[in-house]
């Protein structure tokens, strides 16, 4: 498929529009070939889902007998939802099995399977009703057994896996662990954005999944490779852009994949034949203006102190010692204890994130807007 704009901002299209991640794809493929389960962790919007879909694409062209099934747990809210999502994925997966629907319905008849149609796509989905732990155990075992009839080797990706912790069923991890172990011919990849929750699930000795998977952290795309990718796509369309301009935009987007893609998508849409710094600066302002109504509501939702703290962190472009006297004094943040309280609140709202020992505003464009509004008033 050829796209009018090569900078994709939702989903995965094809390797042509996917930048680098060669090492990471290789690492995941190797784990799959060696039947090792993986947990993939990164900040939101860094590229986990894209990477996993890319791996699925590569696996599909390299191996006839291997398949990757992608399950997004983000919208699920219960064990019933998890089974329904898996059942629906099985229904839509490519397999030799005829009458797959009849087989699923027969195998899971005790869970009173029903049917709904997605109001947007019109695609049919399956719905199961799980009332007890036993229902869940039985349903999951039956579904996996049907999955195994599809291909010799199967990888199941459970994306945004930390979502299972939000289910009302408190023992879901205990139920999943033995079933994962019973199915060595299925490689499981658990992917998640909540570093703390994911690490607790997989590295805490008291938890069922303790040391059962290999942890893999996904960082930003290697700068030189991203630069090449961006330059090549602009040049292929006949647009000229210098390395310096690209490096500046990467820096402004904090090398965070989604923000870089979004920026480049908008820049490409402008069809400038020769892109200069003035064009990119103008676009920065345009982006901030387009998000301003949203950011003003964020401000309303925060206390005065929380807003002052998040703005201070944005102005400093990340802070490693937010409790230090210098930082507190420079930004009028009262006391270390009030900063501590606001840090906890803002982290809980996922507005701040601590990464590599530095506190950052999670949403890059919000950070740039905070910085911009501060400078407008203070410089
Ligand atoms: N390697 C890549 N090259 C180009 N675009 C990418 C790449 N990885 C991710 N993206 C894009 O960046 C955005 C965020 O990536 P996504 O995979 O959804 O992040 P996550 O799952 O970590 O939240 C998506 O729009 C996706 O299309
Ligand atoms: Mg994702």
CATH of the domain at 95: 3.40.50.300
Instruction: Let me know whether 73 and 208 are in one domain.
Output: yes
Nearest CA to ligand 1 atom 17: 47
Q: Considering only 11-25, 84-98, 121-135, which range has the smallest mean pLDDT?
A: 84-98
Mean pLDDT of 210-223: 95
- Number of structural domains (the chain) is 2
For residue 170, the model assigns a pLDDT of 85
pLDDT at 98 over 80: no
Q: Residue 290: CB partners within 8 Å, gap ≥ 6?
A: none
For residue 201, the model assigns a pLDDT of 93
Instruction: Let me know whether 207 and 327 are in one domain.
Output: no
Please state whether beta strands 352-355 and 358-361 pair in parallel, antiparallel, or not at all (unpaired). antiparallel
- For residue 44, the ligand 1 atom closest to its alpha carbon is 23
Cβ–Cβ under 8 Å, residues 305 and 322: no
Q: Residue 114: CB partners within 8 Å, gap ≥ 6?
A: 126, 127, 128, 129
The pLDDT confidence band at residue 335, using thresholds 50, 70 and 90, is: very high
The pLDDT confidence band at residue 171, using thresholds 50, 70 and 90, is: confident
The pLDDT confidence band at residue 365, using thresholds 50, 70 and 90, is: very high
Q: Considering only 149-163, 212-226, 244-258, which range has the smallest mean pLDDT?
A: 149-163
Please indicate, yes or no, if residue 265 is contained in any of the structural domains. Answer: no
The pTM of this model reads 0.94
- Tell me the C-alpha distance between 342 and 308, whole Å: 10
For residue 100, the model assigns a pLDDT of 86
pLDDT at 93 over 80: yes
Instruction: Let me know whether 42 and 175 are in one domain.
Output: yes
Mean pLDDT of 220-231: 98
pLDDT at 120 over 90: no
Q: How many whole angstroms from 337 Cα to the centroid of ligand 1?
A: 37
Q: How many whole angstroms from 10 Cα to the centroid of ligand 2?
A: 10
Does the Cβ of 261 fall within 6 Å of ligand 1? yes
Please indicate, yes or no, if residue 134 is contained in any of the structural domains. Answer: yes
pLDDT tens readout for residues 54-92: 999 999 888 878 889 999 999 999 999 999 999 999 988
**Residue from 11, 17, 50 whose mutation best tests the ligand 1 pocket (most atoms within 8 A of CB):** 50
Instruction: Let me know whether 211 and 314 are in one domain.
Output: no
Please indicate, yes or no, if residue 195 is contained in any of the structural domains. Answer: yes
pLDDT at 378 over 90: no
The structure tokens listed for 107 are 């195998």
The structure tokens listed for 201 are 């699930």
- For residue 218, the ligand 1 atom closest to its alpha carbon is 22
**Residue from 222, 258, 265, 350 whose mutation best tests the ligand 1 pocket (most atoms within 8 A of CB):** 258
Cβ–Cβ under 8 Å, residues 155 and 163: no
Q: How many whole angstroms from 72 Cα to the centroid of ligand 1?
A: 15
Instruction: Let me know whether 162 and 36 are in one domain.
Output: yes
The pLDDT confidence band at residue 124, using thresholds 50, 70 and 90, is: confident
For residue 128, the model assigns a pLDDT of 93
Mean pLDDT of 271-275: 96
Please indicate, yes or no, if residue 335 is contained in any of the structural domains. Answer: yes
Q: How many whole angstroms from 52 Cα to the centroid of ligand 1?
A: 10
- Tell me the C-alpha distance between 336 and 324, whole Å: 7
Please indicate, yes or no, if residue 237 is contained in any of the structural domains. Answer: no
Nearest CA to ligand 1 atom 5: 18
Q: Chain centroid to CA 351: how far? A: 16
Does the Cβ of 70 fall within 6 Å of ligand 1? no
User: For residue 264, which of 226, 230, 220 has the smallest C-alpha distance?
Assistant: 230
Q: How many whole angstroms from 350 Cα to the centroid of ligand 1?
A: 19
- Tell me the C-alpha distance between 21 and 57, whole Å: 13
For residue 140, the model assigns a pLDDT of 95
Please indicate, yes or no, if residue 61 is contained in any of the structural domains. Answer: yes
Percent of the chain with pLDDT over 90: 84
Domain's final residue, options 178, 201, 217: 217
For residue 63, the model assigns a pLDDT of 83
**Residue from 45, 53, 265 whose mutation best tests the ligand 1 pocket (most atoms within 8 A of CB):** 45
Mean pLDDT of 204-219: 93
The structure tokens listed for 365 are 């464009």
Q: Residue 362: CB partners within 8 Å, gap ≥ 6?
A: 43, 44, 350, 351, 352, 353
Mean model confidence pLDDT for the chain = 94
Cβ–Cβ under 8 Å, residues 97 and 150: yes
Instruction: Let me know whether 39 and 144 are in one domain.
Output: yes
Domain that holds residue 164: 21-217
Domain's final residue, options 165, 188, 217: 217
- For residue 260, the ligand 1 atom closest to its alpha carbon is 12
Please indicate, yes or no, if residue 161 is contained in any of the structural domains. Answer: yes
The pLDDT confidence band at residue 151, using thresholds 50, 70 and 90, is: confident
Nearest CA to ligand 1 atom 10: 47
Does the Cβ of 10 fall within 6 Å of ligand 1? yes
Domain's final residue, options 217, 250, 283: 217
Does the Cβ of 19 fall within 6 Å of ligand 1? yes
Does the Cβ of 9 fall within 6 Å of ligand 1? yes
- Tell me the C-alpha distance between 339 and 27, whole Å: 40
Please indicate, yes or no, if residue 251 is contained in any of the structural domains. Answer: no
Q: Give the N- to C-terminal CA distance of the chain in Å, as an integer.
A: 48
Q: What is the 3-state secondary structure (H, E, C) of the chain?
A: CCCCCCCCCCCCCCHHHCCCCHHHHHHHHHHHHCCCCEEEECCCCCCHHHHHHHHHHHHHHHCCCEEEEEEECCCCCCHHHHHHHHHHHHHHCCCCCCCHHHHHHHHCHHHCCEEEECCCCCCEEEECCCCCHHHHHHHHHHHHHHHHCCCCEEEEEEECHHHHHHCCCCCHHHHHHHHHHHCCCEEEEEEECCHHHHHHHHHCCCCCCCCCCEEEECCCCCHHHHHHHHHHHHHHCCCEECHHHHHHHHHHCCCCHHHHHHHHHHHHHCCCCEECHHHHHHHHHHHHHHHHHHHHHHHHHCCHHHHHHHHHHHHCCCECCCCCHHHHHHCCCCCHHHHHHHHHHHHHCCCEEEECCEEEECCHHHHHHHHHHHHHHHC
pLDDT at 152 over 80: no
Q: How many whole angstroms from 228 Cα to the centroid of ligand 2?
A: 24
- The CATH number for 324's domain is 1.10.10.10
Cβ–Cβ under 8 Å, residues 39 and 198: yes
For residue 198, the model assigns a pLDDT of 94
């Amino acid at each position: 498929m050829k796209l009018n704009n090569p900078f994709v901002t939702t989903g995965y299209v094809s390797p042509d529009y996917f930048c680098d991640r060669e090492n990471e794809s290789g690492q995941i493929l190797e784990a799959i070939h060696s039947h090792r389960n993986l947990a993939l962790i990164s900040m939101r919007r860094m590229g986990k889902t894209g990477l996993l879909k890319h791996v699925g694409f590569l696996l599909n062209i390299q191996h006839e007998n291997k398949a990757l099934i992608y399950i997004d747990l983000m919208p699920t809210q219960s064990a019933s939802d998890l089974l329904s999502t898996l059942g629906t994925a099985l229904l839509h997966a490519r397999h030799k099995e005829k009458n797959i629907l009849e087989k699923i319905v027969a195998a899971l008849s005790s869970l009173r399977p029903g049917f709904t149609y997605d109001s947007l796509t019109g695609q049919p989905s399956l719905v199961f009703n799980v009332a007890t732990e036993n229902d869940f155990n039985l349903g999951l075992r039956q579904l996996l057994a049907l999955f195994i009839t599809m291909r010799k080797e199967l990888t199941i990706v459970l994306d945004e896996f930390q979502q299972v912790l939000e289910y009302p069923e408190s023992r879901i991890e205990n139920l999943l662990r033995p079933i994962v172990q019973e199915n060595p011919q299925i490689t499981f990849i658990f992917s998640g954005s909540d570093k703390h929750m994911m690490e607790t699930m997989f590295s805490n000795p008291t938890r069922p999944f303790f040391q059962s998977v290999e942890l893999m952290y996904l960082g930003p795309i290697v700068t030189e490779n991203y630069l090449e990718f961006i330059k090549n796509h602009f040049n292929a369309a006949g647009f000229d852009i210098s390395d310096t301009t690209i490096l500046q935009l990467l820096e402004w987007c904090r090398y965070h994949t989604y923000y870089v893609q979004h920026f480049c998508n908008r820049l490409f849409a402008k069809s400038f034949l020769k892109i200069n710094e003035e064009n990119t600066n103008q676009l920065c302002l345009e982006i901030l203006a387009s998000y301003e109504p949203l950011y003003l509501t964020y401000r309303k939702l925060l206390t005065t102190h929380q807003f002052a703290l998040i703005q201070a962190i944005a102005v400093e472009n990340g802070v490693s010692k937010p409790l230090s006297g210098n930082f507190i004094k420079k930004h009028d943040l009262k006391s270390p204890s009030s900063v501590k309280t606001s840090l906890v609140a803002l982290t809980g709202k996922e507005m701040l994130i601590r990464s590599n020992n530095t506190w950052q505003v999670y949403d890059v464009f919000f950070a740039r807007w905070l910085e911009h509004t501060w400078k407008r008033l203070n410089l």
